[in-house]
């Protein structure tokens, strides 16, 4: 194991993820990103919800909380407001973030609280047996959609941007080095950063969609991803079924913890002033 | 001469998914009869880190070996 992984992982490996699971690749990308960022391990908070991907908090040697289904962002918001020094990362699966925690997700985006939300999108509810999720692409098969899903999928990038997130990016596990860089950039960004990490689930997604081999799933990602720069030159027809990777959006807005600190300081000053007047 | 690399593979945590053998550009890695990966051509490694970046079970360590060795 590379030294960087040894530093950030607890010694309870191998993990429970299936052979060829994309979650492991995201976890190694996160470890390398943390190494590049150089935060002390005691200052990093990793919060996760429920699902395959959310097992990550059990394997990483940081301050970790494994919370309720869909509520990872709510727990993380509480922790961050109490301890603004914590560099907060929230790991969620696609179902956890977009379905069960959909409301928490959009409202966390709206508040613009300084944390990095990593949504590992494997297009399926892997842990419960492969039901289709809000991010399963239209037409793809799942155990609950044996003839192909007729639902339209969320575009998580547009959803996050529309809800008010100030940094939105998408990476994938084939381009693992780029994913690392996106995580570094997202963490350095002041405000709510969303990184969608498109991952592979060979067991619950691949087997039903004629790509059962983990390596073939990675090659499928390689062949179906285009960068933001390439996508700008392509027509909508060419972009059908393509995954656009890279940094999509970045802006600046008032950060929630700072605003709360300002409000508290203001009110404290007001109270002290009122107290002084009463004494006179 | 180019740089030389040593591939350290921890077969204990390998689950035999086959990602490393498919991604290696130089055919350094092969699948053992039991399904796990093995280092078949260590001398061919160019140190691209593809296996280390993509292994979901963190089995690889690629070390650069100094030219004198």
pLDDT for the residue A22 = 92
Give the per-residue pLDDT at B2.
Answer: 75
Residues of B whose CB is below 8 A from A23: 56
Chain A: nearest CA to B54, how far in angstroms? Answer: 6
Cβ–Cβ below 8 Å for B54 and A213: no
Strand residue runs (E) in A137-267: 167-172, 192-198, 225-227, 243-250
Å from B68 to nearest chain A CA?
A: 23
**Residue A97, CB-side half-sphere exposure with 13 Å CA sphere:** 32
Which residues in chain A have their CB less than 8 angstroms from residue B59's CB? 1
Termini Cα distance of chain A = 69
Give the pLDDT of chain A (280 residues) as one tens digit per residue. Answer: 778 888 899 988 889 999 999 999 999 999 999 999 999 999 999 999 999 999 999 999 999 999 999 999 999 999 999 999 999 999 999 999 999 999 999 999 999 999 999 999 999 998 898 899 999 999 999 999 999 999 999 999 999 999 999 999 999 999 999 999 999 999 999 999 999 999 999 999 999 999 989 999 999 999 999 999 999 998 888 888 899 999 999 999 999 999 999 999 999 999 988 887 777 6
* Residues of chain B contacting A, Cβ within 8 Å: 10, 12-13, 15-19, 21-23, 52-62
pLDDT tens for residues B9-65?
A: 888 889 999 999 999 999 899 998 988 999 988 888 998 989 999 999 999 999 888
Query: Any idea which architecture B4-65 has in CATH?
Result: 2-Layer Sandwich (3.30)
Distance from CA of A154 to the nearest CA of B (A): 27
Alpha-carbon distance A209 to nearest alpha carbon in chain B (angstroms): 18
Q: Are A57 and A46 in contact (CB under 8 A)?
A: yes
Q: Is the model's pLDDT at B69 over the cut of 60?
A: no
Cα angle vertex A121, ends A120, A126, to 5°? 95
Decide yes or no: CATH 3.40.50.970 for domain A3-254: yes
Interchain pair B56, A23: CB under 8 A? yes
Cβ-Cβ contacts under 8 Å, A18 against chain B: 15
Say whether B53 and A2 touch across the interface (CB within 8 A). Answer: no
Is residue A261 within 8 Å of residue A242, measured between CB atoms? no
ipTM, 2 dp = 0.90
Residue owning tokens 């419960």: A128
Chain B residues within 8 A of A215 when measuring between CB atoms: 17-19, 21-23
**pLDDT score recorded for residue A229:** 92
Please count the other Cβ atoms lying within 10 Å of the Cβ belonging to residue A58: 14
Residues of B in contact with A21 (CB under 8 A): 56
Confidence (pLDDT) at A279: 72
Asked if A33 has any chain B CB less than 8 Å from its own CB, the reply is no
Question: Rounded distance, CA A148 to CA A30, Å?
Answer: 33
**CB-defined contacts A:B, below 8 A:** 73
Q: What is the pLDDT, as a whole number, of residue A237?
A: 87
Residue A82 token pair: 């109490």
Confidence band (pLDDT; 50, 70, 90) for B3? Answer: confident
pLDDT of A240 reads 86
In the predicted structure, residue B66 carries a pLDDT above the cut 80: no
């Amino acid at each position: 194991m590379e030294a960087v992984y040894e530093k950030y992982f607890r010694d309870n490996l191998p993990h429970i993820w299936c052979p060829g699971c994309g979650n492991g690749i995201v976890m190694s990308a996160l470890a390398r990103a943390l190494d590049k960022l150089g935060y002390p391990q005691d200052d990093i908070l990793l919060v996760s919800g429920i699902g395959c991907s959310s097992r990550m908090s059990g394997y990483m040697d940081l301050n970790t909380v494994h919370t309720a289904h869909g509520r990872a962002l709510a727990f993380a918001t509480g922790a961050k407001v109490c301890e603004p020094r914590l560099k907060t990362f929230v790991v969620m699966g696609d179902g956890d973030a977009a379905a069960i925690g959909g409301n928490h997700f959009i409202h966390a985006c709206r508040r613009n609280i300084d944390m990095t939300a990593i949504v590992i999108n494997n297009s399926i509810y892997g842990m419960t047996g492969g039901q289709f999720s809000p991010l399963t692409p239209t037409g793809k098969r799942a155990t609950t959609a044996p003839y192909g899903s007729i639902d339209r999928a969320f575009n998580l990038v547009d959803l996050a941007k529309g809800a008010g997130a100030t940094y939105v990016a998408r990476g994938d596990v084939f381009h693992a080095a780029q994913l690392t860089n996106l995580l570094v950039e997202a963490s350095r960004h002041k405000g709510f950063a969303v990184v969608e990490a498109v991952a592979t689930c060979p067991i619950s997604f691949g087997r039903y969609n004629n790509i059962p081999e983990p390596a073939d799933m990675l090659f499928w990602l390689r062949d179906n991803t285009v960068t933001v720069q390439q996508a700008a030159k392509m027509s909508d027809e060419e972009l059908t079924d393509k995954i656009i990777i890279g940094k999509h959006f970045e802006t600046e807005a008032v950060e929630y913890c700072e605003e709360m600190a300002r409000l508290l300081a203001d009110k404290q000053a007001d109270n002290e002033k009122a107290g002084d007047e009463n004494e006179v | 001469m180019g740089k030389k690399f040593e591939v350290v593979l921890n077969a204990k945590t390998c689950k035999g998914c086959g990602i490393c053998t498919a991604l290696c550009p130089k055919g350094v890695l092969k699948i053992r009869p039991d399904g796990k990966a093995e280092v078949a051509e260590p001398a061919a490694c160019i140190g691209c880190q593809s296996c280390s970046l993509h292994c979901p079970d963190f089995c690889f360590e690629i070390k650069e070996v100094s030219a004198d060795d």
